[in-house]
A and B are shown apart, each in its own frame.
Chain A
Amino acid sequence: MATKILIPTPLRPYTDKQDAVEASGATIGELLADLTAKYSGLKAHLYNEQGKLRSFVNIYINDEDIRYLQKDQTPVSASDTVSIIPSVAGGV
């Protein structure tokens, strides 16, 4: 079961410049694991050293942030569209 994943601009160099790719999985966690297995360059920028999604990486299923659903256990189907949406933060 393949689900469409929208890739933001800074990560497209790791997906052969594609702005949308497909990956498989029954949950968001499985889907992202398949995504990073296919496109290994994504992993360091999506996950921290403890294997957790970085705080400024937002995963949306359709238009809902998975933090307000079941996080990486959120079910996903072929009819869903998953988006990786950056927050951009910094300071002195």
Chain B
Amino acid sequence: MTTTTSRACVLDPGVSTAIRRHGEETFPHECCGALIGRDDRITSAVALPNTTEEGPRRRFLVRPSDYRLAEQKASELGGELLGFYHSHPDHPAKPSQFDLDHAWPNFAYVIVSVMSAVARDMTVWYLKEDRSRFDEGTLNGDEDSDSHPAPAVHG
């Protein structure tokens, strides 16, 4: 379901820490938020409420009103909405079929794995144009990429 791509994004200082902290705060529920920046450089992670009614341990939902707020926030910050992040509680940082079925093109999807309330792997993914799968991109600027080696988990 996934392959790699040459596409890369850069996280400014503080962004990966903010995403990890959000994932740990909401554990065992999924967190979600918007990624704002320009030209594949993510300068801000904006936490958004997970409004899913399908069980927040396994799902997240950014409702239309919060999506609009994210676009407004990006404009206020002088950037663009580049994508979204969410956590996978006690699951690896790989997109699920559910992620694929609901993905938007041209967005960066950052996923952080949170194992037993500790944030570990963080990855970034891009939907292929034909919607058949995600391609994994390169995530630069992850401040904790080596401090929490992820155990092998098969979800």
Binding site for B on A (CB under 8 A): 8-13, 44-45, 55-56, 58, 60, 65, 85-92
The answer to whether A44 touches B130, judged by C-beta atoms less than 8 angstroms apart, is yes
Min distance, Cβ A8 to any Cβ of chain B, angstroms? 7
The answer to whether A8 touches B109, judged by C-beta atoms less than 8 angstroms apart, is no
| Residue of A whose beta carbon sits closest to that of B48 | A88
The answer to whether B64 touches A86, judged by C-beta atoms less than 8 angstroms apart, is yes
Min distance, Cβ B126 to any Cβ of chain A, angstroms? 11
The answer to whether B105 touches A45, judged by C-beta atoms less than 8 angstroms apart, is yes
Bound together, the chains give a CA A65 to CA B71 distance in angstroms of 18
Residues 3-62 of B at the A interface (beta carbon under 8 Å): 30, 32, 52, 54, 58-62
Binding site for A on B (CB under 8 A): 30, 32, 52, 54, 58-64, 67-68, 71, 74, 80-81, 84, 86, 88-89, 91, 95-96, 98-99, 102-107, 109, 130-131, 155
Residues on the A chain within 8 Å of B131, using CB:
44-45
Count CB-based A-B contacts (< 8 Å): 85
Residues on the B chain within 8 Å of A12, using CB:
106
Determine which residue in A12, A55, A56, A90 has the highest number of CB atoms from chain B within 10 A of its CB, and name it.
A90
The answer to whether B64 touches A10, judged by C-beta atoms less than 8 angstroms apart, is no
CB pairs A–B below 8 angstroms (7 shown): A44-B131, A60-B64, A65-B64, A89-B60, A90-B109, A91-B52, A92-B155
